[in-house]
């Protein structure tokens, strides 16, 4: 359902993503791991053109976008099929939890306000935040803010949800509730591409894992293989450090 071919991104003279190929099936959960600075965030950001890739093709369902020739309409269409969960939540500080969840439904999807509000209330229930709809982000814990961030992404009904280290900005006490919500999303067979350093969680949730190093995919496989029988020496060293 998602096919990434030859994805390449340079910043100045530095190649940050180097000819990435990756296919993700509908409902599949793929976890990306790798040392910091290796291009994991850039990979996710290139998939919806938060960073513009230099080369490669991104296909989501029947939409295929060639990076070198992508039009504004292509980019918008791609963004409608993806939902992004940021490390730092990236909520609108001057909007309530419910308004944050409604935002894209109203501005991007052009849904009537009442309908968007109803959908947001559903999402608030699902994320365990029914009593927080009128709260502003500053009045919420880190865990609650990230649950709003995930709720906002759920509301869109995107083909794929992209998670960029959704728990790494959180105090340890809030990590569990955010991972629980991600498990709940996964149970709905939502296609997910997740960057995380939570190895236990990765092992449990991933259908497939991808190890990146220096802008390349160095090794990929099922969690049992990645953790139990890693082949690449860089992956072995990485697992020793984080595990």
Residue 200 DSSP SS3: helix
User: With CB cut-offs between 5 and 8 Å by kind, which of Mg ion, ligand ADP, none does residue 16 bind?
Assistant: ligand ADP
Is residue 228 within 8 Å of 215, Cβ to Cβ?
Answer: no
Q: Which is nearer to ligand ADP, 154 or 210 (CB)?
A: 210
* Cα gap 108→242, rounded to integer Å: 39
Selected from 41, 48, 144, 191, the binder of Mg ion by CB under 5 A is: 41
The residue within the footprint of ligand ADP, chosen from 29, 40, 147, 208 (CB under 6 A), is 40
**Site residue total, Mg ion (CB under 5 A):** 2
Q: Give the other-Cβ count within 10 Å of 218's Cβ.
A: 17
Paired strand residues for 211: 33, 219
Which stretch in 32-40, 48-56, 99-107, 166-174 sits in contact with Mg ion by CB under 5 A? 32-40
Q: Which two tokens stand for residue 112?
A: 């009537």
| Under rule CB under 6 A, residue 39 binds ligand ADP | yes
- Packing angle, helices 172-187 and 142-156, rounded to 10: 20
Residue 133 corresponds to which tokens in the numbers above? 């709809």
Nearer to Mg ion, 4 or 32 (CB): 32
- Tokens (6 digits) for 32: 């990306």
Minimum distance of ligand ADP from residue 38's CB (angstroms): 4
Site membership for ligand ADP, residue 48 (CB under 6 A): no
Q: Which residues bind ligand ADP (CB under 6 A)?
A: 11, 16, 34, 36-42
């Amino acid at each position: 359902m998602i096919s990434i071919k030859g994805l390449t991104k340079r910043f100045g003279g530095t190649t940050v993503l180097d000819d990435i190929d990756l296919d993700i099936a509908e409902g599949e959960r793929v976890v990306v791991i790798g040392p910091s600075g290796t291009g994991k965030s850039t990979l996710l950001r290139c998939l919806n053109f938060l960073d513009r890739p230099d080369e490669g093709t991104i296909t989501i369902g029947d939409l295929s976008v060639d990076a070198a020739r992508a039009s504004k309409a292509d980019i918008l269409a791609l963004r409608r099929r993806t939902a992004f969960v940021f490390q730092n939540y990236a909520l609108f500080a001057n909007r309530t939890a419910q308004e944050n969840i409604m935002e894209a439904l109203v501005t991007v999807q052009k849904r009537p306000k009442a309908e968007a509000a109803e959908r947001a209330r559903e999402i608030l229930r699902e994320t365990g935040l029914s009593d927080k709809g009128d709260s502003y982000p500053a009045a919420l814990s880190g865990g609650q803010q990230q649950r709003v961030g995930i709720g906002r992404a759920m509301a869109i009904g995107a083909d794929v949800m992209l998670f960029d280290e959704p728990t790494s900005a959180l105090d340890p006490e809030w990590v569990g509730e955010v991972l629980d919500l991600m498990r709940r999303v996964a149970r709905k067979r939502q296609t997910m591409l997740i960057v995380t350093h939570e190895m236990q969680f990765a092992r449990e949730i991933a259908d497939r894992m991808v190890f990146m190093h220096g802008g390349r995919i160095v090794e990929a496989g099922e969690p049992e293989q990645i953790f139990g029988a890693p082949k690449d020496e860089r992956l072995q060293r990485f697992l020793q450090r984080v595990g």
